[in-house]
Amino acid sequence: MIVIDGETLKIEEVVAVARNFEEVSVSKEAYARVKKSKEYVEKILASGKAVYGITTGVGELANTRITPEESKKLQLNLIRSHATGVGKPFPEDVVRGIILLRANALAKGYSGVRKEVIDLLVTLLNEKIVPYIPSQGSVGASGDLAPLAHLALVLIGEGECIVDGKRVNSIEVFNKKGIKPITLMPKEGLALINGTQVMASIGCLVVSEAECLMKNAQIAGAMSLEALKGTAKAMDPKIHSLRPYSGQIKVASNIRKLVKNSEIIASHKNCEKVQDAYTLRCIPQVYGAIIDVIEYARKVIQTEINSATDNPLIFPDEEEVISGGNFHGEPLAFAMDFLGIALSEIANISERTIDRLVNPHVSGLPAFLSKKSGLNSGFMISQYTAASLVSENKVLAFPSSVDSIPTSAGQEDHVSMGTISARNAWKIIKNVEYVLSIEMMCAAQGIDFFKEKSGTGTGVSHGLIRKYVKHTDDDRILYKDVEKIKKLIISGEIVDKVEERIGKL
> What is d(CA 185, CA 196) in angstroms, rounded to the nearest whole number?
22
Range 54-61 contact pairs with CB under 8 angstroms and sequence separation of 24 or more: 54/112, 54/186, 54/187, 54/312, 54/321, 58/190, 59/142, 59/408, 59/409, 59/411, 59/412, 60/408, 60/409, 60/410, 60/411
Residues in the chain, how many?
Answer: 505
> What is d(CA 486, CA 433) in angstroms, rounded to the nearest whole number?
6
Amino acid type, 242: L
Identify the bridge partners of residue 373 per DSSP, sorted by sequence position.
376
Q: Measured between alpha carbons, how far is residue 298 from residues 19, 35, 251, 332, 374 in Å?
A: 18, 32, 18, 10, 48
Identify the bridge partners of residue 313 per DSSP, sorted by sequence position.
322
| Choice among 52, 110, 132, 434 that is catalytic | 52
Identify the bridge partners of residue 143 per DSSP, sorted by sequence position.
195
> What is d(CA 122, CA 117) in angstroms, rounded to the nearest whole number?
9
Buried b (16+ CB within 10 A) or exposed e, 232-257: bebbeeeebeeeeeebbbbbbebbbb
Contact between 220 and 443 under an 8 Å Cβ cutoff? The reply is: yes
Is 52 one of the catalytic residues?
A: yes
Helix axes 479-491, 418-448, angle to 10 degrees: 110
Amino acid type, 254: N
Q: What is the DSSP string of 292-333?
A: HHHHHHHHHHHHHTTS--SSSEEEGGGTEEE---TT--HHHH
> What is d(CA 347, CA 105) in angstroms, rounded to the nearest whole number?
35
Range 68-77 contact pairs with CB under 8 angstroms and sequence separation of 24 or more: 68/186, 71/45, 71/186, 71/187, 72/183, 72/184, 72/185, 72/186, 74/186, 74/189, 75/184, 75/185, 75/186, 75/187, 75/188, 75/189, 75/190, 76/156, 76/184, 76/189, 77/189
Residues designated as active site: 52
